[in-house]
Structure 1
Amino acid sequence: MWFLIAKIFQGELGTYVARLKRLATLYAIMAIFAVLLLAFLITALFVYVAAQIGALNAALIASGLCLGVILLLWITTLVVRRTPEKRVQDRMKRDIASVAGTTALSNLPKIFAMARKRKAAALLTPLIAIVGFGIWRMLQNEDE
């Protein structure tokens, strides 16, 4: 952003935009030739397979492969597609887990110091908390 503002004040914006247009044109031409390259490679593969096993069999195999790729991509879109609410919930779970992990690690020296002083009480407290959390999660999952 600041680069463009500096170019405006220096009077070089026209030169910069012209260079960007030339680069965009060159990249577009390169993309067209890349697509043509891919098309010719696929055609060469088809011709080779057709020479080996026959044109009809090669066409059936090529169409079957294309159908398989389409089905795979369709299934992938079904799996990946999630509602925005689900994405927000997943992000919230990750954030809570991250904060909980950081808190636990930062309090670890205090927990060890407390465990040395009062061994039984210090060891039972986290155990009770973990069991209580497990029960709470179990009851929460039954509601869904």
Structure 2
Amino acid sequence: MLGQLITKVFTGEASIFLARLRQMAIIYALMAFVAFFLAFFLIVSGYIWLTQTVGALPAALYFAGGCAVLLAILYIVLLVVGRPPKERASDRLQRDVASIAGVAALANAPSLLRSVKRRKGLVLIPVAGLAVWAAVRAYASRRNTR
């Protein structure tokens, strides 16, 4: 937007641009005002409906719990957004490496399938690993239920 303003200053259309920008700001402020009341009345009507359905005290407790959950979610979002740029760059790098590994795996899939077609015994290795993993999971879940 700043680039557009600089361009308009050089071409002599800055006053038109600023007038349009002011009109848009006023409209957005009015929309935010109406959206606030929309959300407020939706919450109030939800509370009234819940009060008629389950009673006043449980409805108040449900809404307090919902607000607590929203507060926790917003706090987590604040922590994620407030992380230093180095950590966010590291996360992006990890995602990029994972996507490159996925692309490499898909690119090598035809050659892997050809080698499996030639040597059918290669299929037994992942099947055996899956069977061992399933047996360990079954044994661990059975052991935990006793």
* TM tier, smaller: 0.5 to 0.7
Q: Which has the larger radius of gyration?
A: 1
| Other-structure match for 1:15 | 16
CA deviation vs aligned residue, 1:48-83 (integer Å, no higher than 9, x gap): 111122222211111111112222333455567644
Q: 1-side partners of 2:69 and 2:98: how far apart?
A: 39
Q: Structure 2, unaligned stretches of length 5 or more?
A: 109-146
TM-score normalized by the length of structure 2: 0.52
Q: 1-side partners of 2:20 and 2:38: how far apart?
A: 27
| Percent identity (aligned) | 42
Residue 41 of structure 2 aligns to a residue whose secondary structure is helix
Mapping 1:38-117, distance limit 5 Å: 38-78=39-79, 82-91=83-92
After TM superposition, give the deviation of residue 86 of structure 1 in Å. Answer: 3.4
| Other-structure match for 1:30 | 31
Residue 15 of structure 2 aligns to a residue whose secondary structure is helix
Task: Label 1:75 to 1:20 Cα distance change in 2 as closer, same or farther (>3 A).
Answer: closer
TM-score normalized by the length of structure 1: 0.53
Q: 2-side partners of 1:88 and 1:70: how far apart?
A: 27
Q: CA RMSD in A?
A: 3.7
CA deviation vs aligned residue, 1:76-110 (integer Å, no higher than 9, x gap): 555676444434444555667788999xxxxx9xx
After TM superposition, give the deviation of residue 11 of structure 1 in Å. Answer: 3.1
Task: Label 1:95 to 1:65 Cα distance change in 2 as closer, same or farther (>3 A).
Answer: closer
Structure 1 counterpart of 2:13, one-letter code = E
Task: Label 1:78 to 1:54 Cα distance change in 2 as closer, same or farther (>3 A).
Answer: same
Residue 86 of structure 1 aligns to a residue whose secondary structure is helix
Task: Label 1:84 to 1:42 Cα distance change in 2 as closer, same or farther (>3 A).
Answer: same
